[in-house]
Structure 1
Amino acid sequence: MEFISTYGKEIVSLLVPFITWFLNVGIKPRAKLIWTNPHAFIFLVQEPLRDVEGNILRPMQRVETASIKVINIGRDTANKIELIFNWQPQHINSWPVRSYEQKIDQDGRCTLIFDNLSPREEIGIEIMSINIDLPALLLVRSAECTAKNVALSWFQFVPLWRINLARGLILIGFSTTIYWVISLIQFLVLKTPH
């Protein structure tokens, strides 16, 4: 305690640049992308697969579907979002309906490019294939960041008033903690040894 009371002003003067840096850089709005695969399913369709002459190649067909969600959880717009698949999906649908560009690389990789994604906005991509495997999603990235793959979990709906009450209590607790820390630092700095 004597060390803090003796060198309190110097300690505070060293902390001020770090606090300033944190306020300028640490909490700066940024784009942050996550992606998840909420569901995938294989349908076995009881319809025979026939060739051109009408001969049965397979007694039933297989339809594979998968859903992909890309969400900007950051506080800034993400630009040039790219979804890179191992190969071109047979059928693609996006929701909400948005225009996108599709590119096929020399090695057959398929890239879907969306212009931008605002904060808290999401894109849903549905892919489907008939009698072939679905391509794997290799990478989701934007000009600002690379998306993180997260697991999707379901949770019970919570009313908005409860969420706002919890936010208010957290704000009061955080404010009280800051007040106590400032009061403690003030007490330690102003208390001078004899």
Structure 2
Amino acid sequence: MIILLKIADMDYIMNILSQYGKELISIIIPFITFTLSNFFNGKAKVSIGELHQFSFLIDEPLKDDEGNVIKEKQLLHTKYYMVINEGREPAKKLELIFNYKNMHLNLWPVRPYTESFDPNGRYVITFEYVAPKESFRCEILSINSELPEMLTSRCEQGVARSILLYPQKIINKYYLKFIQCCVFLGMASFIYIFIMLLQWLITKTG
């Protein structure tokens, strides 16, 4: 009985496909075109993630100009951001905007930048050019004061995307190659089955 019901359901589905095959194809093709055009779009895609932050308690007194001890110990705060252009086009005029300037800044790899302030006193770091697939670290440090927060980041091509980062072990390159081959074969099989299905629909619907 169950087998007969399954066969009846399959016949019903096949009848629908044979009757409305053209309409289904007209819906599927624009959807695939839209997906591929967005996936292979060559615009810049800047992503920023907080890589690490830490506070060090330094066993060294803080003294004033006259040598008087103000604090027995000092606090050193650090924070590291990773900036990545994941797109296929360069990001121009990339801005990192902090709520104030009270820090020491280091960039690695070393690259030129300009400093400015907006009318509200926000601290703005501007990079003229970030190449496709290029990445760098933005490291900030402050002593005995809280670190400023990065408020936003943008470039001429749009607003940067905030991402989460976490440590990960390095995987064997041959294992990665094997996984990539499996994914490629799976995609090729999917495309082949999809083309065969389209051919069958076209044949059935005339």
Task: Give TM-score scaled by structure 1 length.
Answer: 0.88
Sequence identity percentage:
37
Aligned to 1:65: 78
Aligned to 2:128: 115
> Aligned AA for 1:97?
V
> Aligned AA for 1:150?
I
Once the two structures are superposed, what CA deviation does each residue of 1:30-80 show, in whole Å capped at 9, x if it has no partner? 221221112112122222222222221111222111111111122222111
Give the C-alpha shift of residue 154 in structure 1.
1.6
- Superposition CA RMSD, Å: 2.0
Give the C-alpha shift of residue 157 in structure 1.
1.0
Asked if the contact 1:82–1:141 (Cα under 8 Å) also holds between the matched residues in 2, the reply is: yes
| Within-5 A mapping of 1:31-180 | 31-180=44-193
Aligned to 1:29: 42
Which structure is higher in helix share? 2
Asked if the contact 1:89–1:127 (Cα under 8 Å) also holds between the matched residues in 2, the reply is: no
Asked if the contact 1:94–1:124 (Cα under 8 Å) also holds between the matched residues in 2, the reply is: yes
State the alpha-carbon separation in 2 of the partners of residues 23 and 162 from structure 1.
28
- Unmatched runs of 5 consecutive residues or more in structure 2: 1-13
Q: What SS does the corresponding residue of 1:138 show, helix, strand or coil?
A: strand
Aligned to 1:8: 21
Between the two proteins, the alignment pairs up a number of residues equal to 193
Asked if the contact 1:4–1:189 (Cα under 8 Å) also holds between the matched residues in 2, the reply is: no
Q: What SS does the corresponding residue of 2:51 show, helix, strand or coil?
A: coil
Task: Give TM-score scaled by structure 2 length.
Answer: 0.84
Q: What SS does the corresponding residue of 1:166 show, helix, strand or coil?
A: helix
- Unmatched runs of 5 consecutive residues or more in structure 1: none
State the alpha-carbon separation in 2 of the partners of residues 24 and 59 from structure 1.
61
Give the C-alpha shift of residue 113 in structure 1.
0.6
Give the C-alpha shift of residue 177 in structure 1.
1.2
State the alpha-carbon separation in 1 of the partners of residues 72 and 159 from structure 2.
43
> After TM superposition, what 4+ stretches of structure 1 lie above 3 angstroms from structure 2?
13-26
State the alpha-carbon separation in 1 of the partners of residues 204 and 169 from structure 2.
52
**More displaced, 169-178 or 42-51?**
42-51
State the alpha-carbon separation in 2 of the partners of residues 44 and 23 from structure 1.
52
